[in-house]
Structure 1
Amino acid sequence: MLIFAELKRIDFNGYILNKDEAQIAILNSSYFISLCLSIGEKGKEGADFFNVDIFNTGWVREKKMVFGGNSFIFDDFDDFDDIEKYIKEFIGSIYGDSWSDVLIKLRRYFLWEYEDYQCID
């Protein structure tokens, strides 16, 4: 049986503190929003946390250069609900034979809370 990922919750990192502030921000010609996504197995309790940055092409033009992964570029969105819907659908399309398989795929796009985590004896 395949296991599908499910977006459980979106939290905001950085200077954007909530969905209302995010809605105002995306109406600007340039925006950058840092998110923490709670993603778990569809239909089950529990989630892992993943960080991702979203921004528009106006922000890219303003900065002239953008480094790294774990980000999504959105353009022509004027409602944060549409961005949330897109992220939710994208996450819901990720599946695997086990949660470990799903994690491998999610880590291609999002920064996992345990990325580079090492146990110390």
Structure 2
Amino acid sequence: MNNSKIQPELRSLTGQIDEDLNDLAPVSGSFSHTLRAEIGVRGKEGADVFEFDVCSPEWLDSELNFYSVLPGGPRLITRRFDPEVIENYVRKRLMHATGPDWATVATRIGQWSRWEFEDYNK
């Protein structure tokens, strides 16, 4: 029986349209950014895309002025948009997203992000 686990690895983390995270503003106050993470299997070629939103409590509060209910979805909430802190958070989550195959790993990552093949039917 093979007990090896697949370990995901972050290849890149950018804004939704390939922006450098340091160029996204504001860093504090009201903000919401969609981020794009390319994640693959450590030691192998290729990567899949996962997206998630990073927003501030102030942004959520302002949205609640227009909508009585907001879905939680794949959203990280933070008071300050700090690219290094966000990247470290993603890397830490990936350390705990191992599995026997890529589908299991991607499903675990999909608990806090949107996988590009999430709704893909074989």
> With structure 2 as the length reference, what TM-score do the two structures score?
0.81
Equivalent residues, number: 115
Are residue 48 (structure 1) and residue 48 (structure 2) matched? Answer: yes
Correspondence list, 1:15-26, <5 A: 17-22=19-24, 24-26=25-27
CA drift of 1:96 comes to 0.5
Structure 2 SS opposite 1:60: helix
Paired residues for 1:30-45 under 5 Å: 30-45=30-45
**Structure 1 residue 2: deviation in Å?**
1.1
For the 8 Å contact 1:26–1:80, the answer to whether it is kept is no
Secondary structure of 2:118's aligned partner: coil
Matches of 1:13 and 1:56, distance apart in 2: 17
Counterpart-to-counterpart distance in 1, 2:9 and 2:84: 17
Deviation at 1:73, TM superposition (A): 1.0
Runs of 4+ in 1 over 3 A off after TM superposition: none
Deviation of 1:114 (Å): 1.6
Other structure's SS at 1:7 match: strand
Task: In structure 2, give the amino acid aligned to 1:74.
Answer: T
Contact 1:7 1:92 in 2 (8 A): no
Contact 2:26–2:81 at 8 Å: present in 1 too?
Answer: no
Unaligned ranges ≥5, structure 2? none
Cα distance between partner residues in 2 of 1:109 and 1:33: 15
Which whole-Å CA distance do the structure 2 matches of 1:66 and 1:5 have between them? 30
User: Partners of 2:109 and 2:93 in 1: how far apart?
Assistant: 10
2:5 to 2, 5, 10: 2
What TM-score does the superposition give when structure 1 sets the normalisation length?
Answer: 0.81
Task: Report if aligned partners of 1:40, 1:46 keep a CA contact under 8 Å in 2.
Answer: yes
